[in-house]
């Protein structure tokens, strides 16, 4: 082999060694082998006393379901029944004092006499029995008073005692009134009955009354007549005036 051939072989061997060294990367030769990744799941059963992991702490905890109220059961409604004593709870009793004064013409029917003027004043009490469920009330009106008929030769002065029974309301009352009169006429004893119907307004504040007057005079003569009386209750009118003045202030 000539020297030129040996030089050529040496250069070829050097080029081969250089190519092999460049193919192998220095980083791959220096990098250590990677260790296998650790499993996130525990390899075995964890103790109950061990603290929870971060993943378990973030998981939502199911709350116990609340017990729902029992649904209403549809059924017939039962109404409460109350019993009331009508005699005590539904009846109203009132008592109102009265001071009545009335006057009007008195016509003599038998025997025929000139007309006279009948005058009466009485003190009494108006008792009312009312039911809350009814519009009509029952009224009782006892009274004591004085009666005077005149002028003329047959003037009468008498003491009166009477009772009135009525039906109606506080606004309007229909009464039947009867009273016994005993006194003197012409110096002789006289007694008799005056009775009739009256219509009264506002608990008797004002009234109109048509009466039949019958009496027996001292000589035994019987006298019949008709009296038309207009009356007012002074106590009730005074109370009404006082209320109006008090409310107007």
pLDDT in tens, 80-114: 555 455 455 578 889 999 999 999 999 999 888 88
CATH number of the structural domain spanning residue 157 = 2.40.160.20
Residue 180, phi then psi, degrees to nearest 5:
-100, 130
Q: Would you say residue 48 lies in a domain? A: no
The label of the residue with tokens 């059963």 reads: 45
More confident residue, 50 or 225: 225
3-class state of residue 159 by DSSP: strand
Identify the domain containing residue 101 by its residue range.
88-248
Q: Would you say residue 223 lies in a domain? A: yes
Q: Would you say residue 7 lies in a domain? A: no
The confidence score (pLDDT) of residue 116 equals 92
Q: Out of 71-80, 167-176, 231-240, pick the least confident.
A: 71-80
Distance CA 101, CA 109 (A): 25
The confidence score (pLDDT) of residue 59 equals 58
Q: Mean pLDDT of all residues in the chain?
A: 79
Q: Would you say residue 194 lies in a domain? A: yes
Burial of 192 (0-12, 13-18, 19+ CB in 10 A): buried
Distance CA 159, CA 181 (A): 5
The confidence score (pLDDT) of residue 8 equals 72
End-to-end alpha carbon distance in the chain: 157
Is the pLDDT confidence value at 49 over 80? no
C-alpha angle 26/27/33, rounded to 5°?
120
Q: Would you say residue 60 lies in a domain? A: no
Q: Would you say residue 174 lies in a domain? A: yes
Q: Out of 37-46, 131-140, 237-246, pick the least confident.
A: 37-46
- Report the 10 Å Cβ neighbour count for 219: 9
Question: pLDDT class for 27, splitting at 50, 70, 90?
Answer: very low
The confidence score (pLDDT) of residue 133 equals 67
The confidence score (pLDDT) of residue 175 equals 97
Count of domains for the chain? 1
Q: Would you say residue 45 lies in a domain? A: no
Give the total residue count for the chain: 249
Is the pLDDT confidence value at 43 over 80? no
Q: Would you say residue 78 lies in a domain? A: no
- Report the 10 Å Cβ neighbour count for 185: 24
């Amino acid at each position: 082999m000539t020297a030129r051939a040996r030089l050529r072989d040496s250069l070829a061997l050097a080029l081969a060694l250089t190519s092999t060294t460049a193919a192998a990367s220095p980083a791959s030769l220096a990098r250590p082998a990677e260790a296998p990744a650790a499993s996130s799941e525990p390899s075995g059963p964890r103790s109950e006393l061990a603290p929870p992991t971060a993943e378990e702490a973030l998981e939502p905890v199911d709350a116990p379901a609340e017990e729902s109220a029992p649904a209403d059961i549809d059924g017939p409604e039962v109404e409460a029944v109350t019993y009331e004593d009508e005699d005590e709870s539904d009846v109203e009793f009132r008592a109102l004092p009265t001071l009545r004064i009335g006057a009007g013409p008195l016509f003599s029917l038998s025997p025929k006499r000139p007309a006279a003027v009948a005058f009466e004043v009485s003190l009494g009490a108006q008792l009312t029995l009312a039911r809350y469920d009814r519009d009509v009330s029952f009224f009782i009106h006892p009274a004591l008073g004085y009666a005077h008929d005149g002028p003329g030769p047959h003037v009468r002065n008498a003491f009166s005692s009477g009772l009135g029974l009525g039906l109606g309301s506080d606004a309007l009352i229909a009464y039947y009134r009867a009273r016994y009169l005993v006194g003197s006429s012409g110096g002789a004893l006289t007694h008799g009955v005056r009775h009739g119907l009256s219509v009264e307004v506002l608990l008797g504040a004002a009234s109109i009354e048509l009466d039949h007057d019958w009496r027996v005079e001292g000589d035994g003569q019987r006298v019949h007549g008709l009296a038309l009386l207009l009356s007012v209750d002074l106590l009730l009118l005074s109370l009404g005036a006082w209320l109006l003045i008090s409310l107007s202030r």
